Each structure stands twice: as structure tokens, then as C-alpha cells.
Amino acid sequence: MNHNIVLVADSSANIHTLSSMDVTYVPLKIVTSDKEYTDTIDLDVPQMLKELREYKGKSSTACPGISDWVDAFGNADTVFGVSITSNLSGCYNAASIAADEYMSSNPNAKVFILDSLSTGPEMQLILEKYQELIETGRGFDEIRDEIRNYSKRTHLMFSLESLDNFAKNGRVSPVVAKAVGVLGLRIVGKASDEGTLEPMHKCRGEKRALQQLLTSMRESGYRGGKVRLAHSYNESAASTFAALLRENYPDCDVTITCNRGLCCYYAEEGGLLVGFES
């Protein structure tokens, strides 16, 4: 079934190139009353962050619509995809409606979009697994089932310095957000099983936050599998954490990327996201 397969994801997955397959990324938007930033590969993320720092008004985000997803499916016979958690965004909902519409107008086509109940580098792991399964020539149902199973073994944790944009957009309670906005404090937490932001620890200073991340990963069953790090212009935290991982798990497969627009907007300056396998 290697004819005409398309892989799709929304831009919260952070836009990577896989070794042998293209991914079509459907952009979310970051919106102010002056301007709209579309989270494509062409978005100048540092420039956007600079403008948002200077901007005093309200900002928000918007998920892609049904037709954006249908466009991304192209003319494929088979579509596999992954979306940001349906508990914080309308992305998955739009993608499922798009899938139904596409299949009813193309009766031979098959579409499966996974609700990641997560975002960022956990979605990257899912995309890499899709590629692996497609390459080994598995059938549609088998790939769908394997991906569902795999996603039970993938997790997302983070260290964040601010939850302001989460709170402003009603995606975390103001009480939780306030506890973080103290200078030098970082919140270490995870994507919960329901796909919401779950704070776990408050840490003073980056070094402690990174130690805590490693401890929490172990507690969640990390034993040396793949790790995908995505940082919001905090290369030093990412490389310090990668070194810490390699000290403890010499054979672990860890890579580092930059967050794109949507993840940078919510993870804010200094944020580090960690996708990993248990």
C-alpha cells in the first residue's frame, strides 16, 4: 500500500523533515488585533516573539479549519495524521470532520488522524513512528492500531517559566498560572492522560528544573528510549538536558529542535518540551 500516502500534522508538532517522507503541516495562527501570524515554515518566530513582547493588547491563537485539513490531504488514497490534544484546541475536531468529508467524496480513500492528547515533540515521535510503519509496508488497519498502541508509550513533559498565555486564553486556571509567575520559578509538569496541562513541581532555577524533569521521566517509566527535545530559544537548557540524559542513559537517542510559532507562544521564552518513550 505504498501508493499515494500523505502524512499530515498541525504546526504544533513543530515542523521537521523526516528521513524519507514529507509531512504536510497545517498551520495554526497566532492572532493580535494588529496582525495574524501563520505558523508555517516561513514564519520568522524570533521576530514574532519580539513583536509580541512589545505588543500591549490581547493575543490569542486559532486552529486550522476543516478546509485547511482537506487541502492538506491533497489527492491521497491514504492519509495518516496527528493533531494537538482535543482538550485544548479545536484542531482535532476540524480534522475529524475533514476526514469524514474527504472519505465521503473519495469512497476509496482512507484517513486516520490520531488525537495526540499532547503536542510538540510527542507529536514528532508519532510522526517518526508512522514513517517507520509505512516504510515496512504495513496495511492501513495495522498502522492505525500500532500508532494507537505506540501513543500509550509516548509522553510529554515540560519546564516552563510562565503560563501567562495559557491563562490569558483560558487554557489553565489563573490560580495555577499565578503560582508560576514568580521570577526564577519554573513549573515542571506533563500532558495529562486527558490531554490537559498538569503542573507537578515548582523548581527554583533551571538546574533543579532539569533534574526534576529527569526524575519525573523515570517515574513515568523512562528507561532509555527515544527523547525529542524542543526549546523556545533556550538552546543551553536543551543541550544541558541532553547531556544529563546521556550521562544516565549512554545509548539513548536524543535530538534537539526549536519550537515553532504555536509552541513558542504558549511555552514562552525559556520553555523546554520533552517528548519521550516509556
Judged by CB under 6 A, the residue of 14, 118, 154, 216 near ligand X90 is 118
Q: Which of 7, 82, 88, 229 binds ligand X90 (CB under 6 A)?
A: 88
Instruction: Give the strands of the sheet with 36-38, arranged side by side.
Output: 36-38, 29-32, 59-62
Map grid coordinates 490537559 to a residue. 196
Q: Which stretch binds ligand X90 (CB under 6 A): 100-108, 141-149, 247-255, 263-271?
A: 263-271
The answer to whether 270 contacts ligand X90 (rule: CB under 6 A) is: no
**Binder among 138, 168, 171, 208 for ligand X90 (CB under 6 A):** 171
Candidates 7, 35, 28; CA nearest to 19 is 7
26, 49, 63, 217: residue in contact with ligand X90 (rule CB under 6 A) = 63
Q: Does 158 bind ligand X90 (CB under 6 A)?
A: yes
- Cα 13 to Cα 27: distance, rounded to the nearest angstrom: 10
Place of cell 538552546: 235
Minimum CB separation of residue 123 from ligand X90 in Å reads: 10
Q: Considering the complex, state which of residue 78 and residue 259 has its C-beta at the smaller distance from ligand X90.
A: 259
Are 203 and 241 spatial neighbours (Cβ–Cβ below 8 Å)?
A: no
Residues 60/169, Cβ–Cβ less than 8 Å: yes
State whether residue 239 is helix, strand or coil: helix
3-state helix vs strand vs coil in the chain, percent to 5 = 40, 25, 35
CB of 163 to ligand X90, least distance (A): 9
Residues 6+ apart with CB under 8 A from 219: none
Smallest gap from Cβ 278 to ligand X90, in A, equals: 17
201 within 8 A of 189, measured Cβ to Cβ = yes
Considering beta carbons, is residue 102 or 166 the nearer one to ligand X90?
166
Question: Judged by CB under 6 A, does residue 151 bind ligand X90?
Answer: no
Interacting residues toward ligand X90 by CB under 6 A = 28, 61-63, 84-85, 88-91, 118-120, 156, 158, 171, 191, 195, 197, 263, 266-267, 273
